[in-house]
């Protein structure tokens, strides 16, 4: 490797780290809600059956997903028009506001119905932020990555996404050790939201000094006068209907599986398996730590063998093994067995999570990439990922919990059809094509030939 190449690689690493730190804090704020809902459910909702209270918090969790398509549209459009850095800074600012609101809102016994209303408003702000964060960070990490290593570097989106959840669980474990159960239910659950809002403010300041991606800067230089308004518009996005439908098919099974085995799993082990809260927190923490390590390994593997093979692995294994894994987990109270089953599921899900952002980014050109990645993805996550926990809890309350296992497997099977018939995106990446076109805009045919060959 030459000195120039080494310097370029260091610049890539630095940009990935700057983009990833903010992503971690954003997702920490998002997942703190799920991690601590077992403690603050009583604070925001009237006394009653614990499952009913959890169902209420799950409903608010799901409603927060409604804002994700709006965030994917608004901040995706903003990123395509004004830059990835500006959109990433704005998204973390909105997240800080939502987390702070949850941290300081009084409980139901103090302000009545206003408590769940304010909780809902805060969750809507967080949904808006996360909807824009996913689209823009996926685009940014894909664009700043080195050609031939985009799978590896873009996998750090889920490294930091899951790490955010991991930090949330770590904070939960620490608080469980130093605070009594009564203190956790009373006021201890507010601490992680204060931590999150403070971290988001720090990241907001850091992101203001982050480098813009070369792809966006190159597009800015070559854009014709008056064309800026068209970038990131729905009119332009509608010129890519096949790509939008591919994003939906790619995402459907993956988002249901991901939220089942990460967000809902904690409640499932407590309510169904009968494992204690403290033990469940440790199981989730260790399993997700291993899950984080798997992401760049699988992402790097996709640079060698292609994205499609990993997606098919997830589709086949998820369709066949989801019901046996969930059934076995429902009937065990052994911590080691529960960990093994959860880990098996997360290995399967890695086939999707490690590369899903780069696959989507490789479908769209620079002028519409953030919106193209963000809006159809956010719509799919809102409909299927955001309702996964609520559907699971509702079926449990109705005494039909096992039906949820088949629901997850069915969603993965639908995505498997997409994976089987789709092309290999790394072989015809629009990111590589755009870079060649920017370097030689008069030769688009030669550019695509260079990417394919």
- Is pLDDT of 427 > 70? yes
pLDDT one-digit tens code per residue, 168-191: 888 988 998 899 988 898 889 999
Top mean pLDDT of 34-38, 368-372, 441-445 is at 368-372
Highest-scoring range by mean pLDDT, 87-91, 139-143, 169-173, 350-354? 350-354
Q: Whole-number mean pLDDT of the chain?
A: 83
Give the torsion sign (CA, 320, 322, 325, 331). negative
232 φ/ψ sector (left φ>0, alpha ψ -120 to 50, else beta): left
Which tops the pLDDT comparison, 124 or 444?
124
> Quick check: 359 and 307 in contact, CB under 8 A?
yes
Q: How far apart are CA 91 and CA 140, in angstroms?
A: 14
Tell me which range, 10-14, 154-158, 233-237, 253-257, is most confidently predicted by mean pLDDT.
253-257
Kindly report, residue by residue over 391-426, the tens digit of the pLDDT.
998 898 888 989 999 999 999 999 999 999 998 887
The pair of structure tokens assigned to 26 is: 């954003």
Helix 241-259 to helix 369-380 angle (10° resolution) is 50
Q: Give the integer Cα–Cα distance in Å for 116 and 105.
A: 9
Q: Is the pLDDT of residue 314 over 90?
A: yes
Output the CA angle 175-38-114, nearest 5 degrees. 105
Kindly tell me if the per-residue pLDDT of 87 is higher than 80: yes
Sketch out the chain's domains with CATH numbers.
11-213+236-422 (1.20.1250.20)
292 with 162: CB under 8 angstroms? yes
b/e per residue 138-174 (b: at least 16 CB within 10 A): bbbbbbbbbeeebbbbbbbbbbbbbbbbbbbbbbbee
**Separation of alpha carbons 129 and 133, rounded Å:** 6
The string of pLDDT tens digits covering residues 252-298 is: 999 999 999 988 888 899 988 888 888 888 898 899 999 999 999 99
pTM of the model: 0.80
pLDDT at residue 383 is higher than 80: yes
């Amino acid at each position: 490797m030459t000195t120039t190449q080494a310097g370029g690689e260091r610049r890539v690493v630095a940009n990935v780290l700057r983009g990833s730190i903010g992503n971690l804090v954003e997702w920490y704020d998002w997942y703190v809600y799920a991690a601590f809902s077992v403690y603050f459910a009583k604070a925001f909702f009237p006394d009653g059956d614990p499952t009913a209270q959890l169902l209420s918090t799950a409903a608010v969790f799901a409603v927060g997903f409604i804002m994700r398509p709006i965030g994917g549209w608004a901040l995706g459009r903003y990123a395509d028009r004004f830059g990835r850095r500006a959109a990433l800074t704005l998204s973390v600012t909105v997240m800080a506001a939502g987390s702070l609101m949850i941290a300081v809102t009084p409980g139901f016994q103090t302000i009545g119905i206003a408590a769940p209303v304010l909780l809902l408003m805060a969750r809507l702000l967080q949904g808006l932020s996360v909807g824009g964060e996913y689209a823009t960070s996926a685009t940014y990490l894909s664009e700043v990555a080195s050609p031939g290593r985009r799978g590896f570097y873009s996998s750090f989106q889920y490294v930091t996404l899951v790490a955010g959840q991991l930090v949330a669980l770590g904070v939960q474990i620490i608080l469980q050790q130093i605070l009594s159960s009564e203190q956790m239910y009373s006021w201890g659950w507010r601490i992680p939201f204060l931590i999150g809002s403070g971290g988001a403010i720090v990241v907001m300041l850091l992101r203001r000094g982050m480098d813009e991606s070369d792809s966006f800067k190159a597009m800015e230089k070559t854009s014709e006068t008056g064309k800026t308004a068209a970038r990131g518009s729905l009119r332009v996005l509608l010129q890519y209907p096949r790509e939008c439908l591919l994003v939906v098919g790619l995402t459907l099974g993956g988002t249901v599986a991901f939220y089942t085995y990460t967000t809902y799993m904690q409640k499932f082990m407590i309510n169904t398996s009968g494992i204690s809260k403290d033990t469940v927190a440790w199981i989730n923490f260790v399993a997700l730590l291993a899950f984080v390590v798997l992401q760049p390994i699988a992402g790097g593997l996709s640079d060698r063998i292609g994205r499609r093979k990993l997606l098919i692995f997830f589709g086949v294994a998820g369709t066949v093994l989801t019901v046996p894994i969930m059934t076995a987990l429902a009937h065990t109270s052994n911590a080691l067995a529960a960990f093994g089953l959860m880990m098996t599921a997360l290995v399967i899900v890695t086939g999707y999570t490690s590369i899903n952002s780069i696959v989507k980014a490789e479908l769209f050109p620079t002028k519409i990439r953030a919106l193209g990645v963000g809006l159809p993805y956010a719509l799919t996550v809102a409909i299927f990922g955001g309702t996964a926990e609520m559907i699971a809890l509702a079926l449990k309350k109705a005494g039909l919990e096992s039906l949820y296992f088949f629901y997850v497997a069915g969603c993965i099977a639908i995505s498997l059809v997409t994976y089987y018939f789709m092309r290999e995106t790394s072989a015809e990446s629009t990111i590589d094509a755009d870079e060649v076109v920017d370097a030689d805009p008069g030769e688009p045919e030669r550019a695509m030939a260079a990417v394919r060959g």
